[in-house]
Structure 1
Amino acid sequence: MTAWIRFRLADGHTRFGILDAESVTEYAGDMFGDAISTGRVHGVDELTLLSPCLPTKVVALWNNFYALSEKLGKAPPAHPLFLIKPPTSVIGQREPIRRPPAYGGKIAYEGELAIVIGKRCSNVSVEAASDHIFGYTCINDVTAAELLNEDVNFAQWCRSKGFDTFSCIGPAIQREFDWRAARVVTTLDGVERQNYPLADMIFSPAEQVSLISQDMTLEPGDVIACGTSIGVGSIKDGATVDVAIDGIGVLSNTLALES
Structure 2
Amino acid sequence: MQQFARILIDHVALPVIVIDGTPFDLRPLVADITPAAIASGVLDNVDTSALASIKGPYDYLAPIDGVRQFAATGFNYRKHIEEFKMVPPTEPEVFLKAMSSITGPNDPVSRGPNPGTKLDWEVELAIVIGREARDIAAADAQDYIFGYVCINDISDRATQVDSLGGQHLVRAKSRAGYSPIGPYLVTGVDGANLDLWTKLNGHVEQQGNTSDMLFSISEMLAYFSKHMTLLPGDILATGTPPGVGFGKNKFMKPGDVLECGIEHLGAQRHVILV
Normalising by structure 2, report the TM-score.
0.86
Counterparts of 1:1-259 in structure 2, within 5 Å, are 1-10=1-10, 12-20=11-19, 21-27=21-27, 28-29=30-31, 30-32=36-38, 33-35=40-42, 41-43=52-54, 45-54=56-65, 55-152=67-164, 154-233=166-245, 234-256=251-273, 258=274
- The aligned length equals 256
Matched residues in 2 for 1:205 and 1:176: separation? Answer: 15
Q: Which has the higher strand share?
A: 1
Give the letter aligned to residue 262 of structure 2. Answer: I
Which amino acid letter does the alignment assign opposite residue 50 of structure 1? L
C-alpha deviations, 1:160-179, integer Å up to 9, x for none? 11111111110101102123
Give the secondary structure class of the aligned counterpart of 2:17: strand
| Secondary structure, counterpart of 1:180 in structure 2 | coil
Matched residue type, 1:238: G
* 1:43-70, Cα deviation, whole Å (9 max, x unpaired): 2524321111242222121110111212
Q: CA deviation at 1:89?
A: 0.5
**What's the CA shift string for 1:194-224, capped at 9, x where partnerless?**
1112101011111111110101011111111
Q: Which amino acid aligns with 2:174?
A: G
Q: Is the contact between residue 19 and residue 25 of structure 1 (CA under 8 Å) also seen in structure 2?
A: no
Q: Quick one: structure 1 residues 88 and 169, their matched pair in 2 at CA, closer, same or farther if it must change by over 3 Å?
A: same
Give 1:35's aligned amino acid. V
> Does the 8 A contact of 1:142 with 1:166 survive in 2?
yes
Q: Structure 1: which 5+ runs fail to align?
A: none
Letter of the 1:252 partner, please give it: R
Q: How far apart in 2 are the matches of 1:242 and 1:179?
A: 21
Q: Is the contact between residue 139 and residue 170 of structure 1 (CA under 8 Å) also seen in structure 2?
A: yes
Tell me, what secondary structure is at the counterpart of 1:73? coil
Aligned counterparts of 1:69 and 1:162: Cα–Cα separation in 2? 23
Structure 2 residues without counterparts, runs of 5 or longer: 246-250
Matched residues in 2 for 1:153 and 1:70: separation?
A: 20
1:88-117 deviations in whole A, cap 9, x for unaligned?
Answer: 000012111112223542100111111111
Counterpart residue number, 2:248: none
RMSD: 2.0
- Following TM superposition, by how much is the alpha carbon of 1:24 offset from its aligned partner in structure 2, in angstroms? 2.1
Change (3 A) 1:156 1:16: same
